[in-house]
Amino acid sequence: MVLHPLSDFIDSNSPVSNSSPNYWYQGRCPQTGELLRLPRTRLVEAIAYNLMQHLATDNRYSSEGKMYGVLLIELPTGEQRILKAFSGLLNGDSVVEGWVPPIPGRKQVALEETSTLSELDAIKQELITLKQLPERLQYETHTSEFELRLQQMSDRHQDCKNKRIEKRQILCETLAGETLHFALEQLNEESRREGIERKQLKRQRDEKLQPLQQLIAVADTRIRELKQQRKQLSRQLQAQMHAAYTLMNFLGQSLSLQQLIPGGMPTGTGDCCAPKLLHYAATHHFKPLAMAEFWWGSSSTDQDKVQGEFYGACAERCQPLMGFLLSGLSQRKSNANVSTTEQTLPIVYEDEWLIVVNKPSGLLSVPGRYFDTQDSVLSRLRYLLADGVILNAVHRLDQETSGILVLARDLQIYRQLSQQFQQRQVHKVYEAVLSGLLTTEQGVIELPLWGNPENRPYQQVDWQYGKPSVTHFQMIAVEGNYTRVELTPLTGRTHQLRVHAADVKGLGVPILGDRLYGCRAAASRLHLHAREICFEHPQLGKTIHLQAKTPF
């Protein structure tokens, strides 16, 4: 059964608010240019969280990391149901009971796919063998040994040289004539012997390493050839799949991926959750109401996906298809009249130089790199305000953190305020709910933080590479199994409060809802709020103290 009742995912006695979408799947209709949108709401996120709990109980879903998705739909009868999908293959299978089937087309290229995948696997195995060539380790070992020997010899020769310099001075002071000449020549001969000794050792090194270098060079040439061959095979298979894969939208139009994107698409296009879910809904005349996608399982190969985190349409594979897939939804309720709360922001303070807003959780402070990360406080204000084009965010809040965000209305004010932040002259107070109990009522956390470039945006405590970070904490109250705390950062490192809360050398208790740093308790959001800020107004010269009520 592919259609699932809401009761399988949501307790009817615990209603979830379905207002204020946290994200919009969107794209422009190819025919009309109209912006079409489908929300990710609190309700569909709650459905996704329930699915996560199910995935956590079955080892089949944790062995490989991948994207999963849920789509809340409405039947022609008015009843609501749930569709769920996984990206690519699940344990080697494309069709799994209870999940939306793949987009039509895979069967047409099944034989070519099997043959190509077999060739690709053979290439993979040969690449592994070539990369693990024993001569590579031998080369590294011998290189290290010779470097050590050369360094030891160099140190010894330098010591001898220093002694010869001292000896020459003494000889010149005590000897003369032929006797002096003979003594100095002996010292010169000693120096020449040391030079010969060094050349001999380098010759030994080259005789040992050159044969290994040649073997490694041959292997590296073969690796480049195999990678090129792998790329060509992948492109050939992908072209066949793109010609075969056919998508349908809500206007009833059906086109292949090749027709939709003639210039070609990355590997895996058409296998993601969003296209699978929307195609299935369109072909069965279901009305989409809301959709959510999340990562589950081990970390992705590029280390940028976190288990249990929600993600939008991927920029390379899904986003280019959104306009076509959503065509036909322009008159549907899910896309009608975007709410004013989605476009406006609560203003905490405003004058001709500054604007300070209370940023909601789930909204970026500034736009991201890709199309699906353009919605932000800065982009909304730039659109809404007459002088918005010159606005600049003076600082940032994490996407899931709510609270006070300061923006400058001219470049000079921006620079002056930025300098206050850099010089730690701005006083900030955050409020958070921790996902456990504290044993200490107050204190100071000092931990060096470092962001591994291969595991962004995750930050970690690193005593070698980390930058100093300091946070004062004060317990406010114990609320059941949770603790409400006040956090005052004296530095402004990325994810500082989140790491200081979660790390065992800090509070040792993650902030409620902070899945990135280990919170496993169910929560609708990250319970971290920028409650207060105090700074000197660059133009008025007076102290500005602002507060925004904590929403949780």
Angle of helix 177-244 relative to helix 134-174, nearest 10 degrees, comes to 160
Active site residue 514: no
Cα 175 to Cα 150, 160, 178, 185, 189: the distances in Å are 35, 21, 9, 13, 19
pLDDT of residue 336: 36
The Cβ of residue 535 has, within 10 Å, a number of other Cβ atoms equal to 21
**Exposure of 205 in the CB half-sphere (CA atoms within 13 A):** 17
The Cβ of residue 286 has, within 10 Å, a number of other Cβ atoms equal to 22
Residues 6+ away with beta carbon under 8 Å from 534: 426, 427, 428, 543, 544, 545, 546
The closest of 401, 415, 325, 411 to 358, measured between CA atoms, is 401
pLDDT of residue 36: 87
Q: Tell me the pLDDT of the chain (552 aa) as tens digits.
A: 789 998 888 775 555 554 568 889 988 777 666 788 899 998 999 999 999 999 988 877 777 889 999 999 998 888 899 999 999 888 878 889 999 998 876 666 666 767 888 898 999 999 999 999 999 999 999 999 999 999 999 999 999 999 999 999 999 999 999 999 999 999 999 999 999 999 999 999 999 999 999 999 999 999 999 999 998 888 787 777 667 778 899 988 888 777 776 666 666 666 789 999 999 999 999 999 999 999 998 765 445 788 899 999 887 778 888 888 999 885 443 333 333 334 458 999 999 999 999 999 988 998 876 555 667 898 888 767 766 667 889 999 999 999 999 999 988 999 999 999 999 999 999 999 999 999 899 999 999 999 878 777 889 999 988 999 999 999 999 999 999 999 999 999 999 999 999 999 999 999 999 999 999 888 889 999 999 999 999 999 999 999 999 999
Residues 6+ away with beta carbon under 8 Å from 398: 495, 498, 526, 528
CB 397 within 8 A of CB 406: no
List the chain domain ranges: 4-106+248-335, 127-239, 344-547
Buried b / exposed e over 463-482, threshold 16 CB at 10 Å, is eeebeebbbebebeeeeeeb
Measured CA angle at 47 (ends 45, 49), to 5 deg = 70
pLDDT of residue 151: 96
CB 148 within 8 A of CB 273: no
Look at domain 344-547 and name its CATH class.
alpha beta
Residues 6+ away with beta carbon under 8 Å from 314: 272, 372
Residue 124 to residue 552: CA distance in whole angstroms:
51
Which one from 372, 398, 503, 514 is the annotated catalytic residue?
Answer: 398
Buried b / exposed e over 522-534, threshold 16 CB at 10 Å, is ebbbbbbbbbbbe
Checking DSSP bridges between strand 528-536 and strand 402-408, what pairing results, if any?
parallel
Beta bridge partners of 358: 404
Cα 25 to Cα 75, 85, 251, 293, 457: the distances in Å are 21, 16, 18, 11, 23
Question: What are 421-435's pLDDT values in tens digits?
Answer: 999 999 999 999 999
Helix locations, 273-362, DSSP H: 273-283, 319-325, 340-343
Residue 108 to residue 473: CA distance in whole angstroms:
61
Helix H or strand E segment including 20: none
- Considering the entire predicted model, what is its pTM? 0.46
